[in-house]
Chain A
């Protein structure tokens, strides 16, 4: 029993094709991969917007900016 299509290497390599585990699940893997990619962007846009808002709220007053630029 093997998760890959190979149970033994006592074979003619000319007949060997895929060697990765769970052959047949490629479509599901693709859906999972694409979903993870999209979720990452959704998280990132929220993270970036919050970071900018925090920075503006905390440091964005004209006095503070003038001080920073003068430094």
Chain B
């Protein structure tokens, strides 16, 4: 802050990340609106609270250990080195960078941007499991993915020194895998143990439609997620950096925006590609679902998610086509998995986030084959095998498996699923009944007063 350019760069970067945080709040508003719309009326307030309360829980745990994990584990540990004790020390909850200080103006906003990604990951899981999971159990899954597994995957594959970037050439600039893939895998791991909502499947295994109580609200929620997604995208970039600050192989003195890997890109590139992949997803979503509003909106989201791994580099028409391909495949996979394995994913989260994210990583490995994954020397270039292995690590290794294990433990303790009676009556039934009793009592009191006139 003691030179003009240093001050400008610092203040701009601080403000830039702050804006992304405010925008990303809309993702959470969108998820809440969408989930409440998708639930049946008898469950809608409980559904809202289940999602809302992940905000404080992931926030405090992200402060207590999530952020430290990100800085401590880029080497695995024990793959490319040990635990980064020294580098991570300032980010422990008692670390020197965690309180307000004038010599570090960036850590707080950077912490918050990563936290909003963590909320998103947890919120993706939330929609899939509505109307039958215990809040206690869901919040443990939210903390697990939001403050542990996403943080590990980001350290491995979304960090300029992450071992997956170094060894595999893993490239996932806007989080197809590190947020969407892992969240889809986590949701599937929970769903396999949790089971479908009562009545979802007929005796012969045919799935029944459990209709949302407000389809319009569902679509508005998805629209809000698109809006918040702008913040998510720009938060994945470093807005301006001097090549000297990268300390890699880039020559000259031209400042640039970069991805999280410190590879140069531009805000224009990701803006156009975001819109073109959204367009590809919407066009194909409308086509494959024959104009169904929910799946068309979900297709738009899946389009962005599929193209996200490489949206720093794709040509806009490539982004559009890739978005469309991912949308068609995730749509078909959703219904195939539902019929074949009797998986009741209430909002299609595994498909829209998990399958589209996985497919997006695989496509990026082929389309960006040979492009440097990092400005540093000695890193593997982007390649199909590296991104395919990365997709498996994200979806299955850090998404599905930990969720499946935790779900099994909670199920064995009878802490995973709500009682059948409560599921049939509805999670809001008792509180609605209490309110109705209070209302009737008030009406009786008023009638008594009127009778005295």
Top-5 shortest CB links A-B:
A60-B421, A26-B94, A30-B93, A55-B430, A16-B102
Q: Does B446 contact A (CB under 8 A)?
A: no
Interface size on B, residues (CB 8 A): 33
Number of residues on chain A facing chain B (CB within 8 A): 30
Chain B interface (Cβ within 8 Å of chain A)?
Answer: 1-2, 57, 60-61, 63-64, 92-96, 98-103, 134-136, 139, 415, 418-419, 421-422, 424-426, 429-430, 433
Knowing that A30-B92, A48-B136, A60-B419 touch, tell me 9 more A-B residue pairs with CB under 8 angstroms.
Answer: A13-B102, A17-B101, A20-B101, A23-B99, A26-B94, A55-B421, A56-B421, A60-B422, A68-B425
Question: Could you pull out 11 A-B pairs where Cβ atoms are within 8 angstroms?
Answer: A13-B102, A16-B102, A17-B96, A26-B94, A30-B92, A33-B63, A34-B64, A54-B430, A59-B433, A65-B421, A68-B425
Instruction: Name B99's contact: one of A18, A44, A55, A65 (CB within 8 Å).
Output: A18
Inside 8 A of B60's CB, which chain A residues have their CB?
A: 33, 37
Question: A69 near B: Cβ within 8 Å?
Answer: yes
Tell me the number of A-to-B contacts counted with CB atoms below 8 Å.
84
Contact with B along A46-66 (1 / 0, CB 8 A): 001001101110111000010
- Say which residue of A18, A27, A37 sits within 8 Å of B64 (CB atoms): A37
Q: Is A10 an interface residue (CB 8 A)?
A: no
On whether A52 and B419 interact (CB within 8 A), knowing A19-B101, A65-B425, A68-B429, the answer reads: yes
Q: Are B100 and A48 in contact (CB under 8 A)?
A: no
A14 at the interface (CB under 8 A from B): yes
Partner of A30, one of B61, B94, B101, B415: B94
Q: Are A26 and B98 in touch, CB under 8 angstroms?
A: yes
Contact of A17 among B61, B64, B92, B103 (CB under 8 A): B103
Which residues from chain B contact A58 at a C-beta distance below 8 Å? Answer: 430
Q: Which residues of B contact A56 (CB under 8 A)?
A: 419, 421-422
Asked whether, in the complex, the Cβ of A18 is within 8 Å of the Cβ of B100, the reply is: yes
Q: Which residues of A contact B100 (CB under 8 A)?
A: 18-20
With A and B bound together, what is the CA distance between A31 and B60 in angstroms?
A: 12
How far apart are the CA atoms of A60 and B426 in the complex, in Å?
11
Q: Does A39 contact B (CB under 8 A)?
A: no
**Could you tell me the distance in whole angstroms from the C-beta of B105 to the nearest C-beta in chain A?**
11
From residue B123, how far is it (CB to closest CB) to chain A in Å?
Answer: 19
